[in-house]
Amino acid sequence: MTMKIMVAIKRVVDYAVKIRVNPDKTGVVTQNVKMSMNPFCEIALEEALRIRESGSASEVVAVTIGPSHSVDTLRTGLAMGADRGIHVDYSASLYPLSVAKILTKLVQIENPGLLILGKQAIDDDCNQTGQMIAGLLNWPQGTFASKVVLDKEKQVATVDREVADGIETVCLNLPAVITTDLRLNQPRYATLPNIMKAKSKPIKKFTPEELNVEIKSDLEIVQVTEPPKRKAGVVVSSVDELIDKLKHEANVI
């Protein structure tokens, strides 16, 4: 069997960077800020690599959409072990529906048996793209996956989903869309031999026009603001004072 897995990866402000809102409140500061692969995308890629290493798939294709710097993130994906990359070059803002349409087109070109994505990107926290693609392709979806088991013979993926009150297990007929949650796996590091190999792996380039996707949005960002600053705590002198404050100031009891 020669199943192909496609993985979508996104370049975002590094998870460990302290986010600052820009002065005109239209977004966050990204200049001179460390950018890295979205952690959920790393998990998605790791899962694809493990499936390939188990023999259930033959190729992992990493896809990213964004400005030219996104190629750096794609190279990280190739250094982790993806076989080849696709870069859809686009510099302006993108919203989940446009991303979903682009990825849908790429799925139609590449015909993967499985599309794995992070459940959300840590920059916009939309958590929509995977679901939209499943809708556009009319594929089954296993979202918030914490465990994925592939049955090669039956062409079925069994996915444990992290839902509010526990684990829900679903079976999906392939081809399918899976979005990954935090506990699915622990991604590997990029080793030097693999970084070296990644330099010669092919990256195919597209533009949205070439894929016949018109990018428009019915969303407008009105304002971006920082969450309210946490107020400093106070030391209370007695249990009575604590109860009084909880009742009358915090209004929680």
Binding site for another protein (CB under 8 A): 14-18, 32-34, 36-37, 39, 72, 76, 79, 186, 189-193, 195-196
Q: How far is the CB of 150 from another protein (least distance, A)?
A: 23
Strands 166-173 and 84-89: unpaired
Q: How far is the CB of 29 from another protein (least distance, A)?
A: 12
Q: Which two tokens stand for residue 164?
A: 């509010």
Q: How far is the CB of 160 from another protein (least distance, A)?
A: 23
Return the number of the residue (193 or 202) whose C-beta is nearest another protein: 193
Return the number of the residue (72 or 226) whose C-beta is nearest another protein: 72
Kindly write down the DSSP assignment for every residue of 5-43, as one continuous string. EEEE--EEE-TTSPP-B-TTSSSB--TT--EEE-HHHHH
Return the number of the residue (122 or 136) whose C-beta is nearest another protein: 122
Return the number of the residue (199 or 216) whose C-beta is nearest another protein: 199
Q: How far is the CB of 91 from another protein (least distance, A)?
A: 17
Return the number of the residue (42 or 181) whose C-beta is nearest another protein: 42
Return the number of the residue (122 or 174) whose C-beta is nearest another protein: 122
108 contact partners, CB below 8 Å, separation of at least 6: none
Q: How far is the CB of 210 from another protein (least distance, A)?
A: 27
Q: How far is the CB of 31 from another protein (least distance, A)?
A: 9
Q: How far is CA 116 from CA 112, 201, 229, 234, 252, in A?
A: 10, 21, 36, 47, 42
Backbone angles phi, psi at 76, to 5 degrees: -60, -45
Distance CA 71, CA 59 (A): 19
Q: How far is the CB of 34 from another protein (least distance, A)?
A: 6
Distance CA 71, CA 27 (A): 23
Strands 156-163 and 35-37: unpaired
Distance CA 4, CA 59 (A): 5
CB atoms within 10 A of CB 209: 10
Return the number of the residue (76 or 131) whose C-beta is nearest another protein: 76
Evaluate the omega torsion of the peptide bond into residue 67 and state whether it is cis, within 30 degrees of 0. Answer: no
